[in-house]
A and B are shown apart, each in its own frame.
Chain A
């Protein structure tokens, strides 16, 4: 938990957002995050974010599923309880394919979704500060981290010059916490 001060700029068009993000990154102010109502292609590049490795995790979960299925069925049919099905070989690999495939997909999907939630720090009961209620509707929000030594008027003027339709200074929790969305937080009431 860390309460911090933010300078917030809201843009109403992604075409204004891109040059603004560029200016903000060159300005030297510390960029906290950018919030958009839908995925804006190219924004991760403009922000200098690395490509995510989530698909690599998915691959690892997938092969875990593959080997679990093949290993488990092989162990059962060859060693734990070998049964003779019409004289067919105990290790009948082609007949293992359907279940092996299903478990590969199941492990990969479940593992990836859990990893996705973990990396994004989201789960039921998690609460995060929303800088503008319309950031999930039609506004593109850029939040800069500032402190008590920052000249607020200067930051706000700078943000307005980048084409922001709305600006504000907010004191807010910068991380996630457990909370109810219908309740106001202590720092919001202060």
Chain B
């Protein structure tokens, strides 16, 4: 007797009466159809934004970093704010696919593919900012430790900024490998049901010739598990190292030991919000409501309220410590942060990140889709302000009142930021059209345990007494 039982307390992960074939049909058929009008509108809008970004960056590279609003006092402005923001968003994907795999959270199967894709695209966007912030971007390869004609003079491996280079590039590579190794079997599914020659050829290439033998699957599972084990500390390390960019300096407002956990919690917070934004739209347009259920959205909202609260505690701890430390510069930095000319950014951050996510304590609101969608955007606005607050409001009133200044971005900075939205959504639209948005094989794997119709069949077994059940089970084995 082959028994797959899961407690009835758990919500089904796949709604409706599905067979394995129906799962394939539901998830793969959007790839085979022509995309709708909305897709074209969205895609070309994204490409237009991307071109605006390319133009803004070209302008900056041609005329130099002086076209940005940053100055001697505020050396990091929108560029590094956006970098940290995008990297933070890029944390949810690997968290969902790795940490939740290790914790055996079945609900990850519905959302991991799209979340990982989002991670990869977000890290791509993030990477643009430090690269173009270098100014002489053609010398960017100086950060790589390669034998060179300057000594050889090596980069400083003790610098947090170089740690960042290693952390972000490793994170990107490992996320990409993890994502793609999961995609290989699903591409094989698309290939084997392809009707057109071109599709068969391209998905044949993309599937690496996967056929799904028992041994291949065994290795695939071993690979996924070890990659998950590796990615778990990796995802925590990335934002930790990003926070070191600030924490290892001696700027009041940055020089704190609370930064690593505070940044990681914030990253997960904003990452999950972005996953919500994308998936709420995706599930509707691609008709995947049975696979990305309200239960999935609720689970993510729980993560949002948890990490949002951690972030809130971090904000208050920072305030307390600046007062308790007795250091005049720390106290002043926080005074100017809250009450200075940038007061609006601090209070926007507080409202969006600390106050409003608390509404998710109400189950009704956690399961309300329009509310979740609005909240997901509010959270990301708040998290953008958090990075802006940390960076700009720690810098603009430094040790010397004579160099105090006010910073606002110029159009190439704004265009650059909008351009990364273009890059992100261009990639995401292509992904949604050409890739299986949900991990088909993984859904099939949990279908008989967590599918709605299969759970219903278990009701008769559930009603039996333990003795009867044991008796039948023993009987079935002989």
Contacts and interface: CB of A to CB of B under 8 A. Distances in A.
A14 interface: yes
Contact of A137 (B21, B158, B181, B211): B21
Interface stretch (A1-9, A97-105, A151-159): A97-105
B86 to A, nearest CB: 19
B237 A181 contact: no
Nearest to B155: A76
B152 A81 contact: yes
Nearest to A177: B209
Nearest to A137: B24
A136 B185 contact: yes
B214 A137 contact: no
B226 interface: yes
Contact of B218 (A52, A98, A106): A52
Contacts of A136: 185, 188-189, 191-193, 210-212
A130 B203 contact: no
Contacts of B21: 134, 137-138
Given A55-B222, A137-B21, A181-B201, A113 B181 contact: yes
B215 interface: yes
Nearest to A176: B209
B223 A15 contact: no
Interface stretch (B160-168, B415-423, B450-458): B160-168
Interface string B204-232: 11101111111111111111011100110
Interface residues of B, dominant DSSP: helix
Given A49-B215, A99-B162, A137 B193 contact: yes
Interface stretch (A22-30, A35-43, A160-168): A35-43
A112 to B, nearest CB: 6
B24 A105 contact: no
23 contacts: A33-B215, A36-B212, A36-B214, A37-B444, A81-B152, A95-B157, A99-B166, A102-B163, A109-B231, A110-B173, A113-B181, A113-B223, A120-B216, A120-B219, A130-B211, A135-B212, A136-B212, A137-B192, A138-B21, A181-B201, A181-B203, A181-B205, A182-B201
Interface of A: 14-15, 18, 33-40, 43-44, 47, 49, 51-52, 54-55, 58, 62, 72-73, 76-77, 80-81, 83, 85, 88, 92, 95-96, 98-99, 101-103, 105-106, 108-110, 112-113, 116-117, 119-130, 133-138, 176, 180-182
